[in-house]
Amino acid sequence: MRFYENKYPEVDDLVMVQVKQIQDMGAYVKLLEYDNIEGMILLSELSRRRIRSIQKIIRVGRNEVVVVLRVDKEKGYIDLSKRRVTAEEKEKCEDRFNLSRQVASILREVASKLTEADFTPPQNGDNQFAAPVSVTTEEEKLEQLYEQIAWPLGRQYGHPHAAFKLMLSDSDAVFGSLPVQPSPAIIRQLKTTIGRKLAPKATRAHAKVDVSCYTRAGIDAIKRALRAGEKVGTDAVPIKARVIAPPRYMLETNTMDGGIAVDRLERAIQAIQAAIEKEGGTLVVHENPKVASESDEQELKALMAKAEAENAEVAGDDDSEAED
- pLDDT tens string 93-143: 999 999 999 999 999 999 999 998 888 765 555 556 666 567 779 999 999
C-alpha to C-alpha distance for 187 and 122, rounded to whole angstroms: 13
- pLDDT tens string 187-218: 999 999 999 999 877 788 999 999 999 999 99
Shared fold status for 14-85 and 91-198: no
91-198: CATH class: mainly alpha
CATH classification for the domain delimited by 14-85, as one of 3.30.390.50, 2.40.50.140, 3.40.640.10, 3.40.718.10 = 2.40.50.140
- The dotted CATH code for 203-323 is 3.30.70.1130
Domain boundaries, the chain: 14-85, 91-198, 203-323
* Residue 178, φ and ψ in degrees, nearest 5: -75, 140
Q: What is the DSSP string of 215-248?
A: STTHHHHHHHHHHHHHTT--SSS--EEEEEETTE
Q: How confident is the model at residue 322 (pLDDT cuts 50, 70, 90)?
A: very low
Q: Provide the β-strand partners of residue 66.
A: 15
What is the pairing mode between strands 248-255 and 77-81? unpaired
Q: Is the pLDDT of residue 310 over 90?
A: no
